Amino acid sequence: MKLFTKGLLLIAIPSVIELVLLGVVFDTQEAATRAARSAENSKQILWQASSLVDPLLRESARVRTGIALEDPSFIDRHAVWTEFADRIALLSRMVADNPAQLARVDHMRAAAYAWRAQAGDVADALRAGRSIAWARAQGAALPPEIETVRSELAEFIDAEAQLDARRTASSSFTRERQQDALIAAVVGSMLVWGAAAIVFARNVGGRLAALGDNAWRLGEGGKLAPALSGNDEIAALDAVLHQTSTRLRDAEREQVALKRQLQARAADLTGANEHLRQETQDNEMFIYSVSHDLRSPLVNLQGFSKELQVSCDDLRAQIDSAGLPADEHRRMTELLDGDVNESLQFLRQAVGRAAAIIDALLRISRVGRLEYRWQRVNMGRIVERVLTGLESGRGLDAARIDVRELPPAWGDPAAIEQIFGNLVDNALQHLDPGRPGHIEIGALAVLPEEGGAGNASEVSNVDGREAAAKPAPRTGAATQPRTRTYYVRDNGVGIPAAYLPKLFRAFQRLHGAGTGGSAGREGKASSVGGEGIGLVLARRIAERHGGRMWVESVEGSGSTFFVALPEQPLRAA
């Protein structure tokens, strides 16, 4: 049974019982009212009956006075009979529901009017001067008609007095019954509602208490009591609680299993990180030692090449002063100026290239060991210093550089300056000579997104196409800050799609494709300088800041490099 039905029954049953009790109260009240009305009517009848004979007695005295004085004016009194007629008519209406009393009233009326007729005859005889000796002979005795009225009236009053006593007793009884019924209604109503409350407490209240106990146990993670029986809403909610408890236990078991897996994977990851750290440290030490060890042979090679050049110059001077035959002089000169000089030039270039590679390796090894000075960085000033430090011979005069509003970031100023210096230098190196160069430096607008710090989603329009700036990869919820994305955009020759995966590898200048940022044209491979580590260094610096770097490029249209840097401290400065 549903709770709504139970509630209706709990309300309807006491209400019906109360209506019955109220009906009994109203019935007893109506009976008491009728009894009181009957008792009051009896008292009115007795009062009217007690004064009914008075007009007849007064008229009898007048008749005797008129006979004695032989004056008929004492007898003919219409007012007396009018008063009697009114009283007898009122008494007749008051006892209309009592046939016995009504008969007595009619008998008294007949006797009274008979006496009236006799009194009229006496008055007529006195007016005619006839003898009224029979009246004198009657003396002071009342006429038999009036005696009849008096005797009937006495019986009438006795009967009405008995009836009044019974009605008074009935009225008292009904009032007592009314009081008893009212008390019974109040007590019964209280008992009915008390019984309803007990039923509610035992049924609905007890079930609600059991449901609340199960909810508390579910919240505390304890075992639930047995499921409630029935098909009402409380039983349905209790069934939901049991289902939830079962699912929670299953989820806890799965959580324990996942926690074990996570701990195992965390241990594996810790070991892998430690192994990677050790390998990185070994690689950096290896790079440093190799670079340091290679410097000495290179210095020797550079010195020997200079000594050979000096020796070649001395030999040429001696040949010029030796006065050799023309053919021998020409052959010796061609040998010195051709093969020997070209070999020395290639040797010097190889030594310079090897020295540059060693310097690049040292810079790469130092990137991971440098301690950054963390602070809030004014990006506008950083870019201004980068542009001021550029040489005009590197294409600065051939390109228009626009700097947009750059909000501040958090990091090391020198390292961030190196990032933008490499990106701007890269863009200048790979401008398209077929059109005026244009470089734009700015920041993407941040779109608010649910998820808080580290989940900012940024969008920018790059040369008419939409580019989505991806957030930095998470390194831990406690250390991952909200990032701001900056960009360096150029209208150079762009990068072919096939070269994009190799763009951030060390020493990958890609020749005809450029060193990232802009692709070279055919025949321009030798015009692009550098060791091919600028973008690698920039990307590693960005990652050490908790950010990332990526590129979007279309061959023939230009490239856009994105750098995501933190807006707030990644760790205590």
In 3D space, the residue among 7, 5, 12, 17 whose CA is nearest the CA of residue 192 turns out to be 17
pLDDT of residue 324 exceeding 70, the answer is yes
- The whole-number pLDDT of residue 520 equals 38
Give me the phi and psi of 166, to 5 degrees please: -65, -40
Helix (H/G/I), strand (E/B), else coil: 202 = helix
pTM of the shown model: 0.44
Helix (H/G/I), strand (E/B), else coil: 50 = helix
Q: What is the mean pLDDT of residues 104-132?
A: 75
| 387-407 tens-digit pLDDT | 888 765 455 677 899 999 999
- The whole-number pLDDT of residue 72 equals 67
Cβ–Cβ < 8 Å for 456, 463: no
- The whole-number pLDDT of residue 410 equals 92
CA 254 to chain centre: 29
CA dihedral 7, 11, 14, 16 (to 10 degrees): -120
C-alpha span between 290 and 421 (Å, rounded): 28
Helices 341-367 and 233-322 sit at what angle, rounded to 10 degrees? 150
In this predicted model, which residue has the larger pLDDT, 419 or 203?
Answer: 419
| 527-569 tens-digit pLDDT | 444 556 788 888 988 988 889 999 999 888 899 999 999 988 8
303-323 as b/e, with b when 16 or more CB fall inside 10 Å?
eebeeebeebeeebeebeeee
Band (226; pLDDT cuts 50, 70, 90): confident
C-alpha span between 218 and 241 (Å, rounded): 7
Band (132; pLDDT cuts 50, 70, 90): low
Band (453; pLDDT cuts 50, 70, 90): very low
| 342-356 tens-digit pLDDT | 787 777 777 776 776
39-74 as b/e, with b when 16 or more CB fall inside 10 Å?
bebbeebeebbeebbebbeebbebbbebbeeeebeb
Helix (H/G/I), strand (E/B), else coil: 456 = coil
In 3D space, the residue among 133, 128, 127, 150 whose CA is nearest the CA of residue 60 turns out to be 150
Amino acid at 299: V
Contacts of 421 (CB under 8 A, 6+ apart): 386, 389
C-alpha span between 509 and 519 (Å, rounded): 10
DSSP state, residue 549: E
- The whole-number pLDDT of residue 529 equals 47
Band (466; pLDDT cuts 50, 70, 90): very low
- The whole-number pLDDT of residue 141 equals 59
C-alpha span between 312 and 306 (Å, rounded): 10
H or E element, residue 457 = strand 457-462
CA 43 to chain centre: 78
| 273-310 tens-digit pLDDT | 888 878 777 777 777 676 667 767 777 777 877 778 78
Share the mean pLDDT of the chain. 75
- The whole-number pLDDT of residue 477 equals 40
Cβ–Cβ < 8 Å for 35, 170: yes
- The whole-number pLDDT of residue 403 equals 94
**Phi-psi region at 436: left, alpha or beta (left = phi > 0; alpha = psi -120 to 50):** beta
Helix (H/G/I), strand (E/B), else coil: 545 = coil
Cβ–Cβ < 8 Å for 51, 36: no
**Helices and strands counted in the chain (H then E):** 13, 10
C-alpha span between 541 and 340 (Å, rounded): 44
Neighbouring CB atoms inside 10 A of 207's CB total 20
H or E element, residue 460 = strand 457-462
CA dihedral 13, 16, 20, 23 (to 10 degrees): 160
Helix (H/G/I), strand (E/B), else coil: 440 = strand
